[in-house]
Structure 1
């Protein structure tokens, strides 16, 4: 009985600490106003920000992602989470107290450290809590991140609109927030083992063994991990399990393609807003828009968790339809001269993406063990980032086309149109195929769980 109680309560502390860290690490009031801050107080031209600074982050992120992913497992997560907290503090020290272009260039490389170490935060929970609590813990982490981001965006908008706070002081406030996250990261527990690199004795801890005896998921884990010897063999076994399913490959393909386009729009939308309505000429509402986007996206994702749909039949068609909605929203932002229409297009675009990525995440996870899901998440992210790097190198970089922001958004809208067309056609074929229709849809595979949001 005592052992059972210990296992039941052992997930609460690491989940609470990671949620607290996630809240403060994502509570960054300055983020919605980064571009106005760079082109305003920092006196950097819009062209330099668009075609020089932001591409440096993309290239650095791609270079760091794979080594960081391997180091994350080898060092057992906590050191990388602490590194992310330290990089966030460095980020806002540079933004607050330096002005040179060289410092802003270093800032982009430093921010790549922040984003590449996110994999440690997302994956650590699966080595810190028993498998029976994976779903709840994942939902709590996602909620903490969304709450932190929404609170930060709302706070910044209130400070700018009602208190007239300067962007410099908002960056200083953000520095205080992320400093708390660094402090909290020190209290994150150190897992006894990684997914592929085991502990010192290579056997894991007693809790893991006990859980493996009592959960059906352990059967999947044992089958996957025992097919190879050593780290490389374990990874190869996990890859074969992850991408051996045609459904997983299909959903992962959309994940990579859509995320590449989404990240490009997310990275450059502030430049589009500044183009439509220069921040120096009127009040700006970037923080409010980001807060609304997060709430609307979270509501859409939560709502789909209560809709019973045979995703194996209609999922690909949904991907095509809502990707088309996203494409239309991007074109709307590109061609409008109204900042409010541009804001509305961004809300629609982000909400449709968050809706679909929630469905995609569940559909992939429903077909895999959580360890395979973490690896799949890393690979899908890498593919998306590689594709995004290609887009950046061709479309954005000043050494290539170096397109202006409006033309860029036309390209991004066309890209999303192509993605939506492919999945719409594939979805029609799947929906019309008699072999794709299950006789009895099951809640496990066909209903998105609201606890995963």
Structure 2
């Protein structure tokens, strides 16, 4: 607790002396601290054990079919409204809402009982995860384009580090200290509460991204109504917002067409949506697989495996931020090749009955995914106009959640639970094989095309690079 208080004081100092305009460090530091605290959740690697154990007394069947799917289906419903509200409120309020929902979710997990309480907890958790679009888009709205690769690696690295510390702390407390899972849930509640307090110190972007024209109108209305009552001001604000809703949706449709007309952006977005879908499915149900492999084993090393794999992923994520590679040429082939490694790890998890082999495969899966996800994120950001980050990332999240809902509906339709575990991970492995084949073929084509173009005019070659093109908002340099 003392360390957390010191971190909070340090963050406050940085926010005071390094405001948003002071380069990329000012907004990045508090956002990293928020991400670290919000993800430091020691109970999470043991959540299934906590729900099915003596604390909550839920059955594995209830957790699989009634509790966990709530998060998936709720996220699907909430993503679009959260996306629109995110930009209208300029990110920071939505990040605060995310922190509040994390606190609510783990408070319900801690003190609630029964299936309905667990479902409400995961519904609140789904609001928090839907608000991830605000967290990941926020940093791009307050830093320069030249820092995207660096800040992406730091922000994602902070998240992974927080999760790793939480998982390691949970494992040590359980295995060495003999601490109960109830105490882990309480520590988690404290950590996300610190994250909520941290979110209030984030600098707020000065302009809205979807509704640029709304800002000036609201400012004029504010000046004109400065002597009017608060109710009149509120009425003018609502009237102004309603006036621009139709215009906003028209612009969204046109911007979607422009953004996804770039083949480079389209393929990176495809991997982002499909890869994230598969990742969340695997991480959500892997604890059930491990319980199936080793039933009633409270000394399982779930937290240790989660911690080590997350630390490895964090290191790989930070390393990506400093790699010098012509991603426009080799990016898709890298995605295809390493996605095949992910698929192989999942196939082996499906085939083996050895818990240690399964742990090793999960380590490979998570480490590789984190690195590839970071590559996709900064490649998408580099090719977009800064006004469209929330839009594109939100659409990617929505598509991924739709796919996740479909996969969830497929795998929970199995009547028997034991075949469900094996059938489930076979589907996930096949899913990543399909992604790998798509990007390997596309990557080979891109490499051959770029090498062929290299013999031509240098200016023409530069115009063909996806990175040379800012495809959204009409800012094209091709």
Partner residue, 1:253: 270
Q: Which runs of 5+ in 1 are unaligned?
A: 206-228, 447-453
Pairwise CA distance, 1:112: 0.7
- Evaluate the alpha carbon distance shift between residue 290 and residue 85 of structure 1 in structure 2; reply closer, same or farther with a 3 A threshold: same
Residue 269 (structure 1) aligns with: 286
- Structure 1 equivalent of residue 103 of structure 2: 89
| Among 284, 302, 306, the residue aligned to 1:290 | 306
Give the TM-score, by structure 2 length: 0.79
> What's 1:201 paired with?
216
Contact 1:87–1:111, Cα closer than 8 Å, also in 2:
yes
1:15 corresponds to which of 28, 50, 53: 28
The CA deviation string for residues 157-200 of structure 1, in whole angstroms up to 9 with x for no partner, is 11111101000111011111111112222333343322113464
Q: Which SS does the other structure have where 2:280 is aligned? A: helix
- Please give the per-residue CA displacement for 1:104-124, whole angstroms capped at 9, x wherever unaligned: 111121111110111122222
In the alignment, which residue of structure 2 is the partner of 1:147? Answer: 161
Matched, 1:73 2:82: no
Distance (Å, rounded) in 1 between the aligned partners of 2:450 and 2:152: 35
1:110 aligns with 2:124: yes
Aligned length: 419
2:188 matches 1:174: yes
Taking structure 1 as the reference length, what is the TM-score of the superposition?
0.83
Query: 1:325 maps to which residue?
Result: 341
The 2-side partners of 1:125 and 1:247 are apart by 22
- Is residue 264–residue 466 contact of structure 2 (8 Å, CA) maintained in 1? no
Using the alignment, how far apart are the partners of 2:283 and 2:80 within structure 1?
A: 23
In structure 1, the partner of 2:257 is: 240
How far off is 1:373 after superposition? 3.2
Following superposition, the deviation at residue 136 of structure 1 comes to 4.7
Further displaced range: 16-25 or 286-295: 16-25
Cα deviation for residue 433 of structure 1 reads 4.3
Residue 17 (structure 2) pairs with residue 40 (structure 1): no
Q: Output aligned runs, 1:282-431, within 5 Å.
A: 283-305=299-321, 307-397=323-413, 404-431=420-447
Gaps of 5+ in 2: 1-17, 221-245, 468-478
Q: 1:113 to 1:307 in 2, by over 3 A?
A: closer
Inter-CA distance 396–43: structure 2 relative to 1 (3 Å threshold): same
For residues 123 and 88 of structure 2, what CA distance do their matches in structure 1 show? Answer: 23
- Cα distance in structure 2, aligned partners of 1:61 and 1:106: 13
Is the Cα–Cα contact under 8 Å of residues 23 and 144 in structure 1 kept in the other structure?
A: yes
Asked whether the equivalents of residues 330 and 409 of structure 1 are also in contact (C-alpha less than 8 Å), the reply is yes
8 Å CA contact retained: 1:313, 1:436: no
The answer (yes or no) to whether the contact 1:51–1:402 under 8 Å persists in 2 is no
Residues 120-129 or 106-115, more deviating:
120-129
